[in-house]
Structure 1
Amino acid sequence: MKIFKDSLKAVISFKIRTFFSILAISIGIASLSIIVASVEGAYGKAYEIVNKFGPDSMMIFGGSQEITSLRQRQKTITLEIYQDITQKFPEIKLSMPLIFIPNVKLSYQDKKHNTRLIGASEKFSEIWSWNIDEGRLFSKEEIDTKANVCIIGKTVKKELFSNEEAVGKYITLNNLVCKVIGVLSERGSTPTGEDLDDRVMMPYTTIMSKINHDNKYIDGIRLKLYKDVDVGDLTKKIEQYFKQKNIDVFILTPQEILNFLLQLTGSLVLFLGLSSTISLTIGGFVLANLFLLSVNERTHEIGIRRAVGATKRDILKHFIYEALIITFIASIIGFLIGFGGSKLLVKIIEFPVKFSWISFIFAVIVSLIVGIVAVLNPALKASRINPMEAIKS
Structure 2
Amino acid sequence: MSLDSALADESVLATYRRMFAALARDSGAVVEDPMLVDIAETLFAAFAEAGEDWLTHERMRHVCRRFPAEAFENRLRVLKALGAIREVFPKPNQLRYRASFTSVVGLMFVRRMMADGGQSEMHRLLALEDLNVADPRTTEEEARASADGLALAFRLWALELVTLAAGTIEELREQAPKLWGTEEITARAESVHATILSRWPSLDRVCTELRAAVYAYSDASRRAARRLADSAGTTRNLTLLPPETWRTFAQTASRERLAAVLDGFVFDAPAPWHDPSDIVRAVDEAPRPAPARPSPPRSDLPDPGAAAADARSDTSVLDRLTAIAEGALGGADSVPVADALRAAGDWPAARRLLADLATADLRPELPYRLRWADGLAADPGSPLSWASHGVFERSAAHG
TM bucket, shorter chain = under 0.3
What TM-score comes out, normalization by structure 1 length?
A: 0.20
What TM-score comes out, normalization by structure 2 length?
A: 0.20
* The structure with more helix, counted as a fraction of residues: 2
